[in-house]
Structure 1
Amino acid sequence: MSGASVKVAVRVRPFNSREMGKDSKCIIQMSGNTTTILNPKQPKENKSFNFDYSYWSHTSVSH
């Protein structure tokens, strides 16, 4: 399998009913193929990751 590569995709799914019932906030942002997890308690400690494909399926418009 020399030369074989793996493609990785990530998707932000919509909130489920439990999450909506708790008025949860989305802490994920996407820009191109970069996905950032926001830390609401420590904003300077956000984590960013790069993927081959990024899909936004969340119901909020800000991403």
Structure 2
Amino acid sequence: MAGASVKVAVRVRPFNSREIGKESKCIIQMSGNTTTILNPKQPKENKSFNFDFSYWSHTTVRPDGFGKQGQVKR
């Protein structure tokens, strides 16, 4: 498939009721198209990944926006 390209998106979803009930903490951070998974036990072992699109849809509101389902469907 010469000339084909794939675009990859990631979205942080809101916590479900089980996660809320367990008082889970969000361990994902997003900055632009970079998504970082935080390791609370080993902070030096955080993992970062780059995506074509990154959407923040977690329950905590961010100043740079909120990824609504309509945006994700593009």
TM, length-normalised to structure 2? 0.81
Residues 9-63 of structure 1: CA deviation (Å, up to 9, x unaligned): 0000000000000000000000000000000000000000000000000011359
Q: Is residue 21 from structure 1 mapped to residue 21 from structure 2 by the alignment?
A: yes
Q: Secondary structure at the match of 2:18?
A: helix
Point out where structure 2 has 5 or more consecutive residues left out of the alignment. Answer: 64-74
Aligned-residue CA RMSD in angstroms?
Answer: 1.3
Code of the residue aligned with 1:7 in structure 2: it is K
Q: List structure 1 segments (4+ residues) > 4 angstroms apart after TM superposition.
A: none
1:57 aligns with 2:60: no
Segments of structure 1 that go 5 or more residues without pairing to the other structure are none
TM-score normalised per structure 1: 0.95
In 1: Cα distance, 2:30 partner to 2:55 partner: 8
Structure with a larger share of its residues in strand: 1
Higher relative contact order (CA 8 A, sep 6+): 1
1:8 aligns with 2:8: yes
Percent identity reads 89
Q: How many residues are paired up?
A: 63
Q: Which amino acid aligns with 1:12?
A: V
